Chains A and B, each alone.
Chain A
Amino acid sequence: MALIECRQLTKTYRKGESTIKPLDRLDLDVEQGSFLALMGPSGSGKTTLLNLIAGIDHPTSGSLTIDGQNIAKLSRSKLAAWRSDNVGYVFQLYNLVPVLTAYENVELPMLLHPISRKERHERVATALSLVGLADRHDHYPRQLSGGQEQRVAIARAIVTDPAILVADEPTGDLDKPSALAVMDLLTRLNQELGKTLIMVTHDAQTAEYANRTLHLDKGRLADDSVQAAFSGETATTQGAAS
């Protein structure tokens, strides 16, 4: 059984008379430990899919089973608790809390769990040295470069040791060297720590880090290529893959 199973997953928004369908009866399996890149034109539903998998949004219909649990059925507050146990989210614009230091930002998700201050300290230190920022504990986000901010955000995403990491264009706002550092880091998290990683990207080169790439188009899967067999970015308008 796959770690993540989407079945006929659909999300619709009603806008006055018309309805928008960012996700249209999508079927998708993501294996434990895989690194999946999601590509597709703007508005094709990438962020919507990521948010559903991260438990941030409820699907309109269909089922979304993660580790055997259909999270589409969870209440809002159960889903909040589920998120803090199972998912780390990395945003395009880092989304660090500006009034908290790097240390406090990384500590933030742990305050939701019964973890002692001492253990929190150890875990923050480990996470920050893993992302190469052991010497930046007391820096506020405004005192960090974009690339450093994103690495702090990654430390925050992994500090509670979630099984799944989602990243929405994590290098979209970074210069080349910072983007490379972030991609190296994410790849290591996938390969060395075994995190299941789902990443949205616009950039074919960035997608090459993944071992599987999916193209979304108008809320449906356009193709599914495993990296080994991947050659170029041919997007066909075929139906859903499984």
Chain B
Amino acid sequence: MRLLPFEYAARNLGRSPLRLGISVLGSTLVVVLAIAAFAFVRGMDRSLADSGSADNVILMGAGSEESIERSEVRPNVAGQAEASIFGIRSEAGRAFVSPEVHAALGVALEPDAEPVGQAVFRGVVPAAFQVHPQVRITEGRSFRPGADEVIVGELAATRLGVPNERLALGQVVYVDGRPLTIVGRFAAPNTVMNAEVWAPLTNLQIMTKRDGVSCVVLTLDEGEFADVDVFVKSRVDLELAAITERDYYRQLSNFYKPVKMMIWVTAILIGVGGLLGGLNTMYAAFASRIREVGTLQSLGYPRRAVMLSFVQESMLAAATGAVLGALIALLLLDGVSIKFSMGAFGLLLDGPTVGFGIAAGLGLGLFGSIPPTLRCLRMPIAESLKAA
């Protein structure tokens, strides 16, 4: 293969420091944004996908299957379900049946101050820790039943927009003037629970002025979803609907599709902008080399050799920018959590995310250089040699 030396491509980069700067920075920017967009969408997907356990079924009020917070279930449903449904998991005589109240409540930092934000509260009994094994107490202890005590997820502070220390052990927060002491902190990585505040079930019932619950979550063992469904259909009087936890979060995930679409559209628009900018600088750069291209061809270099060298040059700049962009993204975005209506989730910065970002930068280098190169080479050699 008759190729131009690599030095030619490398040194061509130095011909215009300004253009080199623009190419590298453009690639850096696109890579950072691509990684951010991908980490966001994947982080959100993961938090919703990992929130559901395969064996869990949620019993909710019929007609409010799309939102647990709006659902109402009678107080006695947990007991009835435990007694009637076949195949519920149990350990040491305790069934995996968790009646829960879910409510978004305003949280204040002082007794009579305005709330600083809303957090999703979950009122639970000890069975909650059985049906949600992802939840692990990392500091302190769990609350005592009936006490004005809460435990907070590791992203609850992000959700509220307060510093993490403000939700440290021993701190007190207020809901409607009622003091709640933080006695424990928990982690439920990559699930919506990670940004929640958990409290005793009875307290939350009082705080939300209801005697029923929002839902009952149960873990099946030998039983099938059909067994739960039979229960729900036979007890029409309880006005229940059953949905697997997986399906519930999948459906929530669909709810966020427009958000994800918007993120992608924005990322693609920025990418196209970067591409057009890249094309522009490349057209200018290569246009000033038309006579040189004619000369190389007159020496006997085939067009694909010139093409390859120019693409190589552009890819070098793009690759430099991509590496820079990946480093910047890792520095800026690692450990960052985003707050959204379901709580908060961490950006997913892993190999595939960074790889995707780098690929976007390299793609920019490739597709940004081919059209200007082709235009440069389309001209007959005799004409190129006449160029200024």
A residues in contact (CB < 8 Å) with B: 47-48, 51, 54, 56-57, 77, 80-81, 83-85, 89, 91, 93, 95, 97-100, 104, 108-109, 111-112, 156
Given the interface pairs A99-B12, A100-B8, A104-B7, the reply to whether A112 lies near B382 with Cβ below 8 Å is no
B302 / chain A contacts, CB cutoff of 8 Å: 77, 80
Q: Is the CB of A111 within 8 A of B5?
A: yes
B4 / chain A contacts, CB cutoff of 8 Å: 111
Q: Is the CB of B300 within 8 A of A83?
A: yes
Q: Is B223 an interface residue (CB 8 A)?
A: no
Residue in A48, A85, A98, A111 whose Cβ sees the most chain B Cβ within 10 Å: A111
Q: Is the CB of A109 within 8 A of B300?
A: yes
Q: B8-48, CB under 8 A of A: which get 1 and which 0?
A: 10011011000000000000000000000000000000000
Q: Is the CB of A48 within 8 A of B382?
A: yes
Q: Of all chain A residues, which has the CB nearest B295? A: A95
Q: Is B94 an interface residue (CB 8 A)?
A: no
B residues in contact (CB < 8 Å) with A: 2-5, 7-8, 11-12, 14-15, 291-292, 295-302, 380-382, 385
B11 / chain A contacts, CB cutoff of 8 Å: 99-100
A81 / chain B contacts, CB cutoff of 8 Å: 300
Q: Is the CB of B7 within 8 A of A112?
A: no
Given the interface pairs A80-B301, A99-B14, the reply to whether A57 lies near B8 with Cβ below 8 Å is no
CB distance from A35 to the nearest CB of B (A): 21
Q: Which of B15, B295, B300, B380 contacts A57 (CB 8 A)?
A: B380
Q: How far is the CA of A98 from the CA of B295 in the complex (A)?
A: 12
Q: Which 6 A-B pairs have the closest CB atoms?
A: A84-B300, A99-B11, A95-B295, A57-B382, A83-B300, A51-B382
Q: Is the CB of B380 within 8 A of A89?
A: no
A111 / chain B contacts, CB cutoff of 8 Å: 2-5
Write 22 A-B pairs (CB below 8 A) sorted by A numbering: A48-B382, A51-B381, A51-B382, A51-B385, A54-B298, A56-B298, A57-B381, A83-B298, A89-B298, A89-B299, A93-B291, A95-B291, A95-B295, A97-B292, A97-B295, A98-B15, A98-B292, A99-B7, A104-B7, A108-B296, A111-B2, A111-B3
Q: How far is the CA of A91 from the CA of B298 in the complex (A)?
A: 11
Q: How far is the CA of A112 from the CA of B357 in the complex (A)?
A: 37
